[in-house]
Amino acid sequence: MAALQAYRHLMRAARVAFEGDARVLDGARQSIRQGFRDKASLPASDPSIQSSIQHAEEVASFLKANLVQGKREGSKYKLRIHEMTERGDNDSIKLGNQNIKVDGVKCCSER
């Protein structure tokens, strides 16, 4: 049941993320179907199934919240931001590279 739910979530997320781009949407659907077909013959007790389901759910979440399509209109691009697109603050952008550290190390090469 969880695999079917993950499949549906992934298909819906692809539809939201790639709305208006039939070629990309069709490719995403084919890729999703093939990925699930590749795992269909595994026994229910296989330990990789749960991690694959979790991966599918994470991809679905990413597609809905973080993927934004741009469409070229003349010399500019128009972004298709929808109601599920995650909108964050710009605090880290305002800081620039000066104070951003990962594991105590400055993220960008120091100059």
Does residue 50 fall inside a structural domain? yes
Q: What is the pLDDT of residue 92?
A: 62
For residue 109, pLDDT over 60 is answered with no
What average pLDDT does the chain have? 85
Residue-number span of the structural domain to which 84 is assigned: 2-106
Q: How confident is the model at residue 111 (pLDDT cuts 50, 70, 90)?
A: very low
Does residue 99 fall inside a structural domain? yes
Burial 61-100 (b: 16+ CB within 10 A, else e): eebbeebebeeeeeeeeeeeeeeeeeeeeeeeeeeeeeee
CA distance 18 to 80: 10
Specify whether the CB–CB gap between 100 and 108 falls below 8 A. yes
Q: What is the pLDDT of residue 29?
A: 97
Does residue 111 fall inside a structural domain? no
Does residue 86 fall inside a structural domain? yes
Does residue 85 fall inside a structural domain? yes
Q: How confident is the model at residue 102 (pLDDT cuts 50, 70, 90)?
A: low
pLDDT digits (tens, 9 = 90+) for 36-90: 999 999 888 888 899 999 999 999 999 999 888 888 899 999 988 888 888 776 6
Residue with tokens 């949407």: 25
| Domains: count for the chain | 1
- What is the pTM for the complete model shown? 0.72
